[in-house]
C-alpha cells in the first residue's frame, strides 16, 4: 500500500496533514514500508542544524546495524564546505576560490568535487538509509548532484533523508508527492534523529 502523503511541520498545527508544536514531540508516520520507501524532506532555516540531524541519524542507524550511504555537506567555517561520503567517510573540499568553479549563491563549487559526489550518489543504493545533503537549485535544474533525484526515484532504500531549503520544498513535493516534510527547529533537533531512525 502506498503511504499516505503527509506534510509534517514543527510549529504550525494547521499545516496540511497535521503538524506538531515544539512543545509536543513530532509524530512521524509509520506507513512507509516497502514496496514504496519513505522520503523525508528535512528543511528549516540556514544554521538550524539540518546536517547535524543527518549526522546523528547516520550514527544511530549504523549503531543499529543498518547500512547507510549518500552524501553529507559539512561546514568547516563560514566560507568552506566539505562533501563526505556517508558509506566510506572519505571527504573532499567542495568550495574553491578557482574562478572556474560552479557558482552557487556566494560560493564557488569545485567541479571535480561535484562529479565525485554525483558518482557516490549514483552508487549509493541499495541501502537502508540514504542521505542526500543537500538538493538545491543546482540539482533542480539538472546540474550538480541531480543524479540524487534519480537515485531517490529508483527507491532501492528503506528511508531517504534529503536536506532541502524551505523555498524549494514545494518543488520537491511536486517531484516526490508521497514525501514527508520535517521542519528542523532548535526545539526538536535533538529528538529528530532517534525518531527518524526508529522508522527504518
Domain residue limits, the chain: 7-197
Instruction: Return the pLDDT at 132.
Output: 98
Instruction: Give the CA radius of gyration of the chain.
Output: 16
Question: Could you tell me if 40 and 161 are in contact, meaning their C-beta atoms sit under 8 angstroms apart?
Answer: yes
DSSP secondary structure code for residue 130 in this structure: E
Separation CA 125–CA 114 (nearest Å) = 18
Instruction: State residue 33's pLDDT score.
Output: 44
Q: How far is the C-alpha of 126 from the C-alpha of 18, rounded, in Å?
A: 32
pLDDT, one tens digit per residue, over 90-105 is 999 998 888 877 887 7
Q: Cell numbers at residue 109, please?
A: 563549487
pLDDT for the residue numbered 105:
77
Contacts of 145 (CB under 8 A, 6+ apart): 71, 114, 117, 118, 121, 132, 135, 138, 139
The least confident of 74-83, 88-97, 155-164 is: 74-83
Question: Which one is predicted more confidently, 11 or 173?
Answer: 173
Task: Assign domain 7-197 one CATH number from 3.40.50.300, 3.40.50.880, 3.30.70.260, 3.60.20.10.
Answer: 3.40.50.300
Residue 93 pLDDT? 95
7 in Cβ contact with 181 (< 8 Å) = yes
pLDDT (tens digit, 9 = 90+) per residue, 112-147? 999 999 999 999 999 999 999 999 999 999 999 999
More reliable by pLDDT, 173 or 80: 173
Q: Summarize pLDDT for 15-41 with one digit per residue, the tens.
A: 333 333 333 444 444 444 445 799 999
What does the longest C-alpha to C-alpha distance in the chain come to?
Answer: 50
* CB distance 129 to 159 below 8 Å: yes
pTM score, whole prediction: 0.82
> Strand, helix or coil at 139?
helix
* Structural contact between residues 10 and 19, judged by C-beta atoms closer than 8 angstroms: yes
Amino acid at each position: 500500500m502506498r503511504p499516505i502523503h503527509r506534510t509534517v511541520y514543527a510549529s504550525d498545527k494547521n499545516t496540511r496533514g497535521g503538524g506538531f508544536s515544539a512543545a509536543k514531540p513530532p509524530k512521524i508516520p509509520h506507513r512507509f514500508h516497502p514496496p514504496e520507501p519513505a522520503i523525508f524532506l528535512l528543511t528549516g532555516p540556514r544554521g538550524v542544524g539540518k546536517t547535524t540531524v543527518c549526522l546523528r541519524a547516520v550514527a544511530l542507524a549504523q549503531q543499529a546495524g543498518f547500512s547507510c550511504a549518500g552524501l553529507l555537506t559539512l561546514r568547516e567555517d563560514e566560507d568552506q564546505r566539505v562533501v563526505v561520503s556517508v558509506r566510506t567517510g572519505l571527504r573532499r573540499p567542495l568550495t574553491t576560490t578557482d574562478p572556474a568553479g560552479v557558482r552557487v549563491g556566494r560560493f564557488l563549487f569545485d567541479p571535480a568535487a561535484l562529479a565525485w559526489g554525483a558518482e557516490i550518489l549514483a552508487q549509493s543504493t541499495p541501502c537502508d538509509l540514504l542521505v542526500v545533503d543537500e538538493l538545491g537549485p543546482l540539482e533542480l535544474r539538472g546540474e550538480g548532484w541531480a543524479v540524487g533525484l534519480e537515485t531517490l526515484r529508483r527507491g532501492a532504500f528503506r528511508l531517504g533523508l534529503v536536506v532541502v531549503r524551505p523555498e524549494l520544498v514545494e518543488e520537491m513535493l511536486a517531484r516526490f508527492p508521497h514525501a514527508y516534510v520535517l521542519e528542523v527547529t532548535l526545539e526538536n533537533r535533538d529528538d529528530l534523529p532517534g525518531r527518524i531512525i526508529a522508522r527504518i
